A = this chain, B = another copy of it.
Amino acid sequence: MEIKAKTLPSALAERLPVYYRHVKTMAAEGRKRITSGILSEKAGNTATQVRQDFFTCGGTGSNMTEDLEKWFEKTLGTNKKKNVIVIGAGNLGRAIISYRDFEKDGFFIEAAFDSDLSYEGIKVCDVPILNINMLESYLSQNTVDIAVITTPAEAAEKIYGKLIKGNVRGIWNFSPCDLKSTEDCVVRNTMLTDSLLTLSFRMKERNGG
């Protein structure tokens, strides 16, 4: 049992991937040990915070880079292959399909779906674009761990119901509507506008406008 609490604070859940990224970079650079001090410097917080975060997640006591990498893989679930589909094969959908680095962390995009029939039969980076009407039968025949939604809001709400019914366990939602997690499916709403507004807020905070 790696995770002590059922729902850890969201700020912590955001920091873990940042730590992991830096651990991987330092591993690639050949560093054998990583202290909380070094990791906090890279991640832009404090060593105390890093140690606290590890403790909260029932972390490894080791500071060997190799052990840390394995611990993160287990904690973040990247040690298990995940089948991913992308709904919406417009610019954002294609950007995600084309981002092959996801495979390094075990996320394999198997298919994409779109309502635009002119896309049907096209492959983007070897990923076939299927007719959105095929979604339900695809879900009944294939295990899908994660679905990425890149459609407009109206389409997203309809698709959401089909994904839940089709036993998808995770939804990465880029459409501008808040979808809710269920008992079996975790939803992560990633609103690009929110991210831009946070930047704008920081600019205002920094130099007044």
Q: Shortest CB–CB separation between residue A56 and chain B, in angstroms? A: 12
Assign chain A's interface to a size class.
Answer: 35 or more
A145 / chain B contacts, CB cutoff of 8 Å? 203
Q: How far is the CB of A36 from chain B (nearest CB, A)?
A: 18
Contact B76 A204 (CB under 8 A): yes
Q: Is A170 a contact partner of B200 (Cβ separation < 8 A)?
A: yes
Q: Of the candidates B90, B92, B107, B199, which one forms a contact with A188 in the assembled complex, judged by CB atoms under 8 Å apart?
A: B199
Chain B residues whose CB sits within 8 angstroms of the CB of A7 once the complex forms? 205
Residue of B whose beta carbon sits closest to that of A44? B178
* Copies of the polypeptide in the assembly: 2
Q: Return chain B residues, CB-CB under 8 Å to A144.
A: none
The answer to whether B21 touches A193 (Cβ under 8 A) is: yes
Whether A28 is near chain B, meaning CB under 8 Å from some CB there, is no
List A residues at the B interface (Cβ < 8 Å): 3, 6-8, 10-11, 13-14, 16-18, 20-21, 42, 75-78, 80, 82, 90-92, 94-96, 98-99, 101-102, 105, 107, 145-146, 169-170, 172, 176, 178, 184, 186, 188, 190-207, 209
Q: A-B pairs with the 5 shortest C-beta distances?
A: A91-B95, A17-B197, A77-B204, A92-B95, A17-B194
